[in-house]
Amino acid sequence: MQRRLFKPLVLSASLMLITACGDAPEPRVAATVDVDNIARQYTQLVLALGEHDSNYVDAYYGPGQLRDEAVARGMSAADIAAEAKALLEKIDTQPLADSDMRKLRLHYLDKQLQALAFHAEHLSNGKKANFEAQAQALYDTTPPNYTLTDFDEVLAGIAELVPGEGNLTERVVAYRKNFVIPADKLDVVFQRAIEECKQRTQAHISLPEDEDFSLEYVQDKPWSGYNWYKGKAYSLIQINSERPIDISRAVDLGCHEGYPGHHTYNALLEHKLVDELGWQEFSVYPLYSPQSLIAEGSANYGIEMAFPGEQKMQFERDVLYPLAGLDPAKAAEYAAFLQLMNRLSYAGNEIARQYINGDIDGERAVALLQQYSLNSEAEARQRLRFFDTYGAYVINYNWGKQLVRDYVEQTDDQAERWARFTRLLSSPRVPSSIEW
């Protein structure tokens, strides 16, 4: 799959700037070269920090030589933090942006470097930052706070939908077993769901030519699905099949990991920013960074983009339930139940916050996840593992989705919503520049 040469496109981008500059070509070209240098150094610092934290570099598909050079320097995490701070000072001295995209680019580099310096510093001193500090420094946002009793009313609503004897968590866990995809139907259901997510996305977003993905089933992971973006518009999507998978997860993961979620976001960034503009910094994706809020938020909101209103339930009822051998007559009731379950999602953030801040221990967190998120004990332990591995990252899913929704739903027109959503996926936006 040979396509899109990198270097000639960099040259053509520079050439365009020279010819478009009019009466003051030289300073603008010099400024572009400066930002390109900052971007390259930022990319190398991300790759260098990846040597100290194996989860940190989520994707890199730029030149191998850049990585080799970065790694060969053998920088400590403290060195990396210091260099990131020096680069931040350079950004401050850059001339004011002369275009919206350049303004977004400088702001993106500034916020991503702040997050990088913060993470490098904490890796270096071995201290864990509290939940609020992580949200602000790593994800460029302040998530809302709740108390767990705020969710009592939702729990009461769920109790009415799932009547019976015994405690609510046990009832819910038993009820959900009716909606598990049988192991031998898993692949056919997932393939069909992703195909539908793709068709619905392609109707509104022009995807790069040759884009493609592979699907794999894995076990023993702290997440339920993962997109490993490999560059050249190709993703490896992994689904964690360690525990039973609910029928509603097929469309959720198909949209989230694939279309119009992570695969689409990464492919558009590669095509629009790396290939067309030669912006090196987008060939690397550091997990603990403001970009993750946009990535997770758009991936989760993307489910509603592709399946607005009742359409997800209708597709599941008419196509996926029969494929999985489940009773389609129960689809509407189950969708209503899941809507209420979604309203509990911020209870999970609150439990993560208390646990990360040391207010409660792991066993208490597992008990609270069972009580307020209605997780089985096994699910609660998997989520605890997620909190241990990824810290305040949990906010990116629901709070990120809310911020993306607020951005997209400023119009009622569905075509305009897709245009806003696509703009978000194709530009260097972070939470504090989402409206620019």
Which residues contact Zn ion by CB under 5 A?
296, 299
Name the minimum Å distance from CB 419 to Zn ion.
23
Closest CB to Zn ion among residues 35, 299 = 299
Q: Which residues on adjacent β-strands are paired with residue 59?
A: 285
Smallest gap from residue 256 Cβ to Zn ion (A): 6
Peptide linkage before 290 cis (omega within 30 of 0) = no
Q: Report, in Å, the least distance between residue 414 CB and Zn ion.
A: 24
Instruction: Please report how close the Cβ of residue 430 comes to Zn ion at its closest, in angstroms.
Output: 16
Question: Distance between terminal CA atoms of the chain?
Answer: 36
Q: Is the Cα dihedral 79, 85, 89, 92 positive or negative?
A: positive
Alpha helices in 149-207 (DSSP H): 152-161, 168-176, 186-202
Q: Which residue's CB is nearer to Zn ion, number 58 or number 281?
A: 58
In angstroms, give the least distance from the CB of 293 to Zn ion.
11
DSSP 218: E
Closer Cβ to Zn ion, 299 or 323, answer by number:
299
Smallest distance, Zn ion to C-beta of residue 166, A? 34
CB of 139 to Zn ion, least distance (A): 14
Q: 326 vs 434, which CB is nearer to Zn ion?
A: 434
Place of tokens 């809302």: 144
If the CB atoms of residues 299 and 368 are measured against Zn ion, the closer one turns out to be 299
- Beta carbons within 8 Å of 184's beta carbon, 6+ residues apart: none
> How far apart are alpha carbons 405 and 424 in whole angstroms?
11
Minimum CB distance to Zn ion, residue 265 (Å): 10
- Strand, coil or helix: 59: strand
Cα–Cα distance between 116 and 286 in angstroms, integer?
8
Residue 297 β-bridge partners = none
Q: Nearer Cβ to Zn ion, position 175 or 285?
A: 285
**Which is closer to Zn ion, CB of 317 or CB of 401?**
401
In the complex, the smallest distance separating the C-beta of residue 262 from Zn ion, rounded to whole angstroms, is: 6
Of the pair 83, 296, the CB lying nearest Zn ion is at: 296
What lies within 8 Å, CB to CB, of 244 at 6+ separation is 177, 180, 181
Report the alpha-carbon distance of residue 408 to residue 19 in Å, rounded. 35
Q: For 335, how many CA atoms within 13 A lie in the half-sphere containing its CB?
A: 18
Distances (CA, A) of 141 to 100, 357, 432: 22, 17, 7
Query: Minimum distance between the CB of residue 249 and Zn ion, rounded to whole angstroms?
Result: 13
CB closer to Zn ion, 59 vs 77: 59
Contacts by residues 81-87 (CB-CB < 8 Å, ≥ 24 positions apart): 81/116, 81/117, 81/120, 81/121, 81/124, 83/41, 83/45, 84/42, 84/45, 84/113, 84/114, 84/116, 84/117, 84/120, 85/117, 87/38, 87/41, 87/42, 87/45, 87/113
Residues whose CB falls within 8 Å of the CB of residue 226, separated by 6 or more in sequence, listed in order: 237, 238, 240, 257
- Which residue's CB is nearer to Zn ion, number 87 or number 294? 294
Q: Name the residue nearer to Zn ion (CB basis): 278 or 400.
A: 400
CB of 220 to Zn ion, least distance (A): 18
